[in-house]
Amino acid sequence: MKAYMYDNVPGDQRLPHDSGREVTASDLATIGVLYRRLAETSEVDVLAAERGYKNRDEIVVSPEKMGDVYEDKVKMFFNEHLHEDEEIRYIRGGQGYFDVRNKGDEWVRIQLEKDDLIILPAGIFHRFTTDESNYVHAMRLFKDEPKWTPLNRAPELDGNDIRKEYVGQYLS
């Protein structure tokens, strides 16, 4: 895992956009983002049991696997959004970027590769993209039935109970 402030320079979202300003795992933890490096899926099983996760699936984000919908899907994942559930992703292969908003509402880019696991708290604004390789294989963990419901950032989300809880716990 490598994390840093996003440079906000226009251009392909799949480029590194590295500002040169490092962000540590401890910095991420202050906004509720947790990182682990897990070499074995048995370690993921332990974490899933500890956190009450019962289901999982795997997704390969690549032009070869997704065909004609790849570009549209990558653009959709890159729309700033939040979820009302915690989000856990374990990278099985390839690389990708999760961008999260920090306390100053600036983007932090988190580069993940094989064996990296990230936990995003419910209510945090974030987005995802592959890197220039256009390939990432990820395991997604779910407490109940697999679902992925993004709520795109909009002013009315300020009143969302999950968002308010996140802001109260991490941003105030």
Torsion (CA) 78, 19, 22, 166 in degrees, nearest 10:
-40
Strand, helix or coil at 144? coil
Annotated ligand binding at 83? The verdict is: yes
Sign of CA dihedral 144, 149, 153, 156: negative
Alpha-carbon radius of gyration of the chain: 15
Annotated ligand binding at 17? The verdict is: no
Annotated ligand binding at 137? The verdict is: no
State how far the Cα of 142 lies from the Cα of 126, in Å rounded to an integer: 18
Spatial CB neighbours of 80, under 8 Å, sequence gap ≥ 6:
101, 125, 126, 127, 152, 153
Annotated binding site for Ni(2+), which residues? 81, 83, 87, 126
Annotated binding site for Fe(2+): 81, 83, 87, 126
Q: Which residues are annotated as a binding site?
A: 81, 83, 87, 126
